Chains A and B, each alone.
Chain A
């Protein structure tokens, strides 16, 4: 079974600063997907960014980027120019697809509570 570990229960930074959230995972699979989800106080789960394990290039989405280190099984999220609206829980997640389509669902870490201070 896969495990996902987020070692930072809470982080706090000033607005406009850059912050990096850590995530490590354990798997014996070679083909998988990694995700970062944001959960603001509204409780809605929002996809932030996605990485396919077979792609070496790190994914980026506007102010959000990842540092994917496959050999080290590390998948950190960098938020640049942080904004007050970035305050939320952030969850790292792992998915192993089936060869015939479909997947077992996401395995989540316990989350990091990110607070952006004005």
Chain B
């Protein structure tokens, strides 16, 4: 039981490049989330999904797109990376209730 895994763990992009972050969970959780964490800040919600094929915007969705084609996977895409997207990205999943989110190990993304 791997829990929540994220691929890749680190990535460096140039401004304007695109990439996709993959999140996978093996706990059969219905709900999945993408957050970003910047220095001196708590995590902020980018997008989330309440089920296969459904997604919704969070607090900071601009510049990101997501897809949930399979229940166990949640993809976060950056179409044209900007330096402001330099951050650590966390994926999480849970079921309701008890709404206890399990987090992946994070992806450190640097955009130069």
- Listed in ascending order, the chain A residues whose CB lies under 8 Å from chain B are 4, 33, 35, 43-47, 50, 91, 93, 95, 97-98, 101-111
Contacts and interface: CB of A to CB of B under 8 A. Distances in A.
Contact of B43 (A44, A47, A91, A95): A91
A80 B11 CA distance: 39
A106 B97 CA distance: 14
Given A44-B105, A47-B101, A50-B100, A104 B48 contact: yes
A18 B35 CA distance: 31
Contacts, number: 67
Contacts of B88: 43
A104 B33 CA distance: 9
A52 B92 CA distance: 20
Select the residue from B56, B92, B97 with max chain A CB neighbours within 10 A.
Answer: B97
